[in-house]
Amino acid sequence: MLTTLLLAAAAFAAGVTGAWSPCGFSMVETLAGAAGREGASGRRLIRAACATFAAGALLGGALTFGLLSVLGQALGAGGEAGVIGGGAGDGADLALIAAAALALAAALADGLGLRVAPQIRRQVPERWRRTLPLPLAAALYGVLLGLGFTTFVLAFAVWALAGICVALGAPATGLAIGVAFGLGRALPVVAMAPRFDTLGIHLAERMAAEPRLLRTLRRADAALLVAAALALLLGPTAASADARANLVATDATDPSVSDGALAWMVPGDGRAVIRVPGQRPASYYATRLAIGEGNLATATPGAIEVRTLADGAQVATIPHARAGITGLAVSQRWVAMRMSRPRGGDELLVASLAGAAVAPVVQTRSGGSLSRPSLDGDQLAYAVGTRHGSRIVVRDLATGQARTVLRSRRTQLSQPSVLGHALLYVEARACDQRLRITTTSGRRRTRTLLTLGGTARRDRGHEHGHARQGNRPSGCPRGTPPRSGRMLWSTALAADAAYVTRWTPRTRRTALLRLPR
């Protein structure tokens, strides 16, 4: 939130500097002069023209900087997905560094008062004010000035903010910057034009005769850009709530890892992708696919095939009589599968790769659910959700001993992944969702790797048009992220990284994110 506010403030100041351009002066004279020629109706006419001019400027700013942010998001820029170039690595950090560098460079140039370059030496079409009704002409002029790059640019901050929007790739932040910029472009005109005979002409003369006013405004813009750059570098931002997360792939879910290799399912495609370092990604067609500890398991109707990941050598074929495998995990000695029960609920089964029969582990009734299983050696981790709460269980398949590692009646614990003594899981609360990592033995040490806003929507607490008596505040602590339309879903845990699926139920789009441990 702080970074977005600072960038919006810098955009507002950059918009105000546009009043010193030839178009800025001409807009004031155009509106004031046209109103004067209309006699008694001039006052109403200029008010209408100022209103349409302001609306046009806001629309133009929102279009320019909002679309630049959408472009950055489409290119896989840093904002919420967190990577420039689409790879998994330090993309989010590079995006934030690039945005901060642009802000600092523009701040230095504006602070020193350097001549703005590149410069756009164009003005708005003059014929509009002669051929169109004044409110319509004013609206079109407002759009052109709000676009920012159709006329003279009076501050390096305008160029920097455009680059920052692309680097962050956060449409909400781009929209805030664009609206603030449009407001800055509109304010001097709507403040001066209605009173041009008195206050307006006095301000216009001072602006034209005293360049120090423009220099002061550019220095203020420089100070705001420096503050925004520091916020980008030193802390999490509203523009990138999960800035540490790197986008691995879109249309990807149910990740699994093995010795540096990464696999995921493509939703609705019946296809899985395996990416091994130094090799091109390979596609497999299977109902479910998982990798683990050097093995590759694929689920087909009637059987699960397990092969070695390195050379595809046959390890085991495990027949199963029921269809509907909804989750799969494999290790060096075991394979685990989740299935839907005919009368509702889920069932978790395991089989030894040494040749033992498939054996049930746990099942839930209608209304209950089991998470996708996770295997590491003899450890099997899964989450159980019922009407009475949720819990995460780690079971030793060699001994059959199971223990509940985490339990909650007020939050939803789900999507566990186990690796050694580390456990990755998702905790969903009314106010937020958190991807967390903890230990399964010894002293409990828990860290939050990623936080998103909660998906719950709270009603107003009263009927429309009725008294607000009894209405209560949300109860969410200060600093809670705003409500999100995205959910944290299936996970995978590697020695150096955590993977999580980000799912948008409204659009049914998924993205696989990587976070350093």
Which of 176, 205, 234 terminates a domain? The answer is 234
* Three-state secondary-structure class, residue 159: helix
Q: Are 252 and 142 part of one and the same domain?
A: no
**Read out DSSP for 299-353?**
EETTEEEEEETTT--EEEEEE-S---EEEEEE-SSEEEEEEE-TTSSEEEEEEET
Pair (433, 381) in one structural domain: yes
Cite the DSSP H helix spans in 287-367: none
Question: Does 260 lie in the same domain as 218?
Answer: no
Domain of residue 147: give its range: 2-234
> Does residue 197 lie within any of the structural domains?
yes
Last residue of a domain, one of 175, 200, 234: 234
CA distance 381 to 390: 14
pLDDT the model gives residue 304: 92
In a domain, 38, yes or no: yes
Sign of CA dihedral 284, 290, 294, 296: negative
End-to-end CA distance of the chain: 25
**Residue 493, domain member (yes or no):** yes
The verdict on 306 and 203 lying in the same domain is no
Number of independent structural domains in the chain: 2
Residue 474, in any domain of the structure = no
* One domain, residues 217 and 309: no
- Same domain? For 227 and 79 the reply is yes
Same domain? 300 vs 435: yes
Q: What pLDDT score does 461 carry?
A: 62
DSSP H or E segment with residue 38:
none
Whole-angstrom Cα distance, residue 295 to residue 273? Answer: 15
> Does residue 250 sit in helix, strand or coil?
strand
Query: Both 132 and 224 in a single domain?
Result: yes
Q: CB atoms < 10 A from the CB of 467, how many?
A: 8
Do 276 and 207 fall into the same domain? no
CATH assignment of the domain containing 334: 2.120.10.30
**Do residues 182 and 271 both lie within one domain?**
no
Would you give per-residue pLDDT tens digits along the chain (517 residues)? 678 899 999 999 999 998 888 777 777 777 776 545 555 566 788 888 889 999 999 999 999 999 999 898 777 555 433 333 333 334 455 777 888 999 999 999 999 989 988 888 787 787 887 788 888 988 999 899 999 888 888 899 999 999 999 988 888 899 999 999 999 999 988 888 777 666 667 677 777 777 788 899 899 999 999 999 988 877 544 334 444 578 899 999 999 999 999 999 999 888 999 999 888 899 998 889 999 999 999 998 788 999 999 899 999 998 876 667 899 999 999 999 999 888 888 999 999 998 878 899 999 988 899 999 999 999 999 999 998 899 999 999 999 999 999 999 999 999 999 999 999 999 998 889 999 999 998 778 899 999 998 887 666 665 666 666 655 555 677 667 778 889 999 999 999 999 999 999 988 899 999 999 8
**Which two tokens mark 370?**
């089991």
Asked if residues 144 and 150 have their Cβ atoms less than 8 Å apart, the reply is yes
- On whether both 109 and 203 belong to a single domain, the answer is yes
Whether 438 and 510 share a structural domain: yes
Domain boundary (205, 234, 263) is at 234
Is 390 inside any structural domain? yes
Q: Is there a domain that residue 124 lies in?
A: yes
Q: Is residue 274 part of a domain?
A: yes
- Classify residue 127: in a domain, yes or no: yes
